[in-house]
Amino acid sequence: MNGTAATDPSPSRVSQPIGNGVFVAVVGPSGAGKDTVIEHARGHLADSCIIEFARRVITRPCDGQSEQHDSMTEDEFETAEKQGAFALAWKAHGLRYGIPASADAAIRDGRVVIANASRNEIARMRRRYATLIVAEITAEPEVLAERLAARGRESRAEVLARLARSKPGDLGPSVFRIDNSGTPDAAGDAFLRLVLQAAEHASRPVARKKSK
């Protein structure tokens, strides 16, 4: 998801990077399947005492088809941001997105926080968190186009514009690219392995969900 960096509200500024835990930012173009790989990992790690999945706040209703999120109006979001309710906040595609401030507390407590984030926010995340891992979810252009068209939310011109904006660039160190052009389980398993590696660097031992 692409976005325009927002200015940190005063209540959520940090004087130095937040340490102990690991922030895992899941980025990539629309249609790449970020929510799919996150949900795959959640299914295996739901009982973990160290790994948390951040629930985003977005200024759109939850339609039951895309990610499960909390909804706010523009005015509500602006007020919440000024009050320091978000660890990170940005604008993209005419909407506003926020990661709750509870993510910062979890990182300080030595946990792993996984969040669907914006690639344009990576520089700010590097300043905010001492340990940042970026999982870039990708897919072949024709796969992206097919998935976006299937949503029925945009015209062909809008889909092409999204793809033009989603060309990958240099995202810096600790970036792991996962191709999700094939089966969702393959990409999901690759992401799950990355999360477990992140947990090894956190301050607490990971507790995995027992297989049935």
Binding site residues for ATP, as ranges?
A: 28-35
> Which residues does 124 contact at the CB level (< 8 Å), separation at least 6?
5, 8, 88
Name the binding residues: 28-35
CA angle 191, 137, 181 (to 5 degrees): 95
* Type of residue at 180: N
Token duo for residue 98: 């926020």
From the number of C-beta atoms within 10 Å of its C-beta (0-12, 13-18, 19+), residue 125 rates as buried
Cα-Cα-Cα-Cα dihedral sign, residues 117, 130, 83, 49: positive
